[in-house]
Amino acid sequence: MTPLRIVLVDDHEMVVAGLKAMLAPFRGRVRVVGEAIGAEHAMPVVAGLAPDIVLCDVRMQGASGLDLCRALRERDPERKVVLLSVYDDEQYLFQALRAGASGYLLKKISGEELVRQLELAHSGVTVIDAALAGRAIDTAARLQSDEFWPGAVTASRTGRARCWR
């Protein structure tokens, strides 16, 4: 099987170098074919290389990974973008999914697990950090029952304030 072709996007050169080093032992499964330091430099790199997956930080100086994901998906609806973040936050996850991301993973992930998740994303599976996915499902269930974000105070139908933690 041909290795997945990956483009890395982060606003910190050190993070890109770290990801390349982390993925290097898995060259038979993934190959970093390009990189961009910052979202504003990513479009021409992705257009020129046509990678299988763009692995991108969520928050960067200037344009965000969410903005980049939207732009890449508008240009090519089949483009796979997996967002990588330190933010273990359901709101970022929901924004990522609305932007068309193929996944939302946390930077604490191991190299082996990252490669496995990238392979799943390439096959069409939406990949999400397991603990974050569990919390997001709980939050979505509360939203369905007219509750709101944890900690939010809202007026109930009876006029009394409610608070969830």
Both 34 and 107 in a single domain? yes
For residue 151, what pLDDT is reported? 53
Per-residue pLDDT of the chain (165 residues; tens, 9 = 90+): 799 999 999 999 999 999 999 999 999 999 999 999 999 999 999 999 999 999 999 998 888 999 999 999 999 999 999 999 998 888 899 999 999 999 999 999 999 999 999 999 999 999 999 888 878 777 777 766 665 555 554 444 444 444 443
Both 56 and 16 in a single domain? yes
Both 51 and 82 in a single domain? yes
Both 78 and 151 in a single domain? no
Both 16 and 46 in a single domain? yes
Helix (H) or strand (E) holding 143: helix 130-144
Both 77 and 44 in a single domain? yes
Both 39 and 104 in a single domain? yes
Q: Look up the CATH number of the domain holding residue 112.
A: 3.40.50.2300
- Is there a contact between 32 and 123 (Cβ–Cβ < 8 Å)? no
For residue 149, what pLDDT is reported? 53
Tally of structural domains, the chain:
2
Residue 100 φ/ψ region, left for φ over 0, alpha for ψ in the -120 to 50 degree band, beta for the rest:
left
Both 87 and 148 in a single domain? no
Both 26 and 40 in a single domain? yes
Both 99 and 158 in a single domain? no
Both 159 and 112 in a single domain? no
What tokens appear for 94 in the block?
A: 């929901």
What tokens appear for 89 in the block?
A: 């936050």
Domain interval for residue 142: 130-165
Both 27 and 90 in a single domain? yes
Q: Quote the pTM value.
A: 0.83
Closest CA to 39 of 2, 71, 78, 80: 71
